[in-house]
């Protein structure tokens, strides 16, 4: 039975998280922690040292790319460490700062290849085969929109393929437990397995929603730029990526803060994508989420308000 608490009684928290191998990382306003279940069935809780922050983190449109990069570094470190706890028999990965940043850079380069270079190359190939010349604003706009559609299609296909992997299924379940636990906390209900189980695994302020919204914002922004040569297109898109991420981050903040028909409409596509990136967790996963969540709750009531 789904929870139907009065939305007026709810809080909106800045606490967020990330699914790990057999566990979760939770990020609160003051504390960061990860909880992972080891092969013996014990829940191992560890507090994390967050990347250095500065005043830049509070500047609108600039804070988005900065916070995303910091979370990518922290998330990669937590993911690597969770694998060491959950699968101690596996050879431990090099956890030096150099190796960590190399891993982040490789992830970024893969994303650039998959979501920036390949869509543009496909459009250029089709344009060449069809003999289309981008000599008018109308054709240039259509090519840009077509590239955006291909990018979204690749993103959805990528998520679908990843969701078919058996090893990823449990990660998606932990992702679902994260959302359910945060929703229970926002409903001001005690964090118990019984309570959390009743909440939805979908949440509007999810990384999946952010990524999908980045795709949509990029289509709108690039529509004003037009279509040029392959190299110029790539350079422009690369330079605009932090700007697009910054705009999207601010939109997500607004969507998370307000609840009205417009914000709900903006959230719907991302919530639909979460059908691919979340799954219903079992009770043992919810127990891990509770431990991680309790570890990062603020000492001062209300200091985590969105």
pLDDT digits (tens, 9 = 90+) for 82-140: 999 998 875 555 555 666 667 778 888 888 888 989 999 999 999 999 998 877 889 99
pLDDT tens profile 260-298: 999 999 999 999 999 999 999 999 999 999 999 999 999
To which H or E segment does residue 6 belong? none
How far apart are alpha carbons 285 and 305 in whole angstroms?
26
Three-class SS state of 16: strand
With H, G, I as helix, E, B as strand and everything else as coil, classify residue 185: helix
Token digits for 286?
């919810």
What is the crossing angle of helices 261-277 and 230-257, to 10°? 110
Average pLDDT for residues 232-237, to the nearest whole number? 92
Angle between helices 118-130 and 230-257 (to 10 degrees): 130
Angstrom distance (rounded) from CA 86 to CA 20: 10
Q: 26 - beta bridge partners?
A: 17, 33
Plot region of 56 (φ>0 → left; ψ -120 to 50 → alpha; else → beta):
alpha
Of 199, 226, 213, 210, nearest to 145 by C-alpha is 226
- Band (pLDDT 50/70/90 cuts) for residue 244 is very high
What is the per-residue pLDDT for 96? Answer: 56
Q: Are 20 and 79 in contact (CB under 8 A)?
A: yes
How far from the centroid of its chain's Cα atoms is residue 176's Cα?
13
pTM listed for this prediction: 0.88
Q: Read off the pLDDT of each residue in 76-80 and give the average, rounded to a whole number.
A: 92
CA distance 158 to 22: 22
Confidence of residue 9 (pLDDT cuts 50, 70, 90): low
Q: Would you put residue 28 in left (φ > 0), alpha (ψ -120 to 50) or beta?
A: beta
Average pLDDT over residues 27-41: 95
pLDDT surpassing 70 at residue 24: yes
Residue 276: CB partners within 8 Å, gap ≥ 6?
156, 159, 160, 163, 208
Mean pLDDT along residues 235-252: 94
**pLDDT at residue 256, as a whole number:** 84
Nearest in space to 202 (alpha carbons), one of 255, 254, 271: 271
* Coil vs helix vs strand at 20: strand
Average pLDDT, the chain: 89
Sorted by sequence, the CB contacts under 8 Å of residue 23 that are 6+ apart come out as 34, 35, 36, 37, 43, 44, 82, 85, 86, 174, 288, 292
Give alpha helix (H) positions in the chain. 63-86, 97-112, 118-130, 137-163, 166-186, 193-197, 207-223, 230-257, 261-277, 283-296
């Amino acid at each position: 039975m789904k929870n139907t608490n009065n939305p007026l009684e709810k809080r909106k928290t800045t606490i967020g998280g990330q699914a790990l191998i057999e566990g979760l990382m939770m990020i609160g306003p003051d504390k960061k922690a990860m909880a992972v279940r080891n092969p013996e069935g014990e829940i191992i809780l560890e507090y994390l040292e967050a990347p250095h922050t500065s005043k830049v983190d509070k500047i609108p449109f600039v804070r988005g790319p900065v916070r995303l990069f910091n979370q990518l570094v922290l998330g990669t470190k937590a993911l690597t460490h969770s694998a060491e706890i959950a699968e101690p028999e596996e050879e431990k990965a090099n956890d030096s700062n150099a190796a960590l940043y190399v891993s982040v850079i490789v992830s970024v380069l893969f994303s650039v290849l998959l979501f920036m270079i390949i869509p543009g190359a496909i459009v250029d190939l089709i344009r060449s085969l069809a003999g289309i010349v981008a000599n008018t604003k109308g054709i240039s706009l259509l090519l840009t929109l077509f590239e955006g559609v291909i990018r979204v299609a690749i993103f959805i296909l990528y998520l679908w393929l990843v969701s078919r992997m058996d090893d990823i299924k449990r990660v998606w379940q932990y992702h679902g437990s994260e959302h359910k636990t945060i929703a229970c906390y926002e409903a001001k209900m005690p964090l118990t397995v019984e309570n959390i189980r009743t909440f939805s695994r979908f949440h509007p302020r999810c990384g999946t929603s952010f990524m999908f919204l980045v795709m949509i914002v990029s289509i709108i922004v690039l529509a004003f730029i037009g279509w040029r040569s392959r190299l110029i297109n790539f350079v422009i898109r690369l330079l605009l990526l932090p700007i697009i991420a910054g705009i999207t981050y601010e939109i997500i903040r607004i969507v998370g803060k307000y609840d009205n028909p417009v914000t709900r409409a903006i959230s719907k596509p991302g919530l639909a994508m979460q059908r691919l990136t979340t799954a219903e967790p079992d009770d043992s996963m919810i127990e891990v989420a509770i431990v991680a969540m309790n570890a990062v709750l603020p000492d001062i009531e209300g200091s985590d308000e969105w």
